[in-house]
Amino acid sequence: MGCSERTKEIKRRRHRKVKVGKLKRQYKAADASGKQEVIEKLTRLTPGADDILSNWGVER
């Protein structure tokens, strides 16, 4: 039997949280062009990218 929708959503959130953490580490270590790539990846990953970027101190 398949997972409930709630379980799927929790799994997606946890996976997204791990991905955002990895992207944050990549952003801190990257040069200017690398930072732009990380911003683009984050924007594709989550609809709340603007809030996350403002928390990171990034102006868009």
**In a structure prediction context, what are the per-residue pLDDT tens digits for the chain, which is 60 residues long?**
678 999 999 999 999 999 999 999 999 999 999 999 999 999 999 999 999 999 999 987
Please give the helix or strand (H or E) that residue 52 lies within, else none.
helix 49-56
What is d(CA 24, CA 29) in angstroms, rounded to the nearest whole number?
Answer: 9
Task: State the pTM of this model.
Answer: 0.84
For helices 5-29 and 49-56, the axis angle rounded to 10 degrees is 40
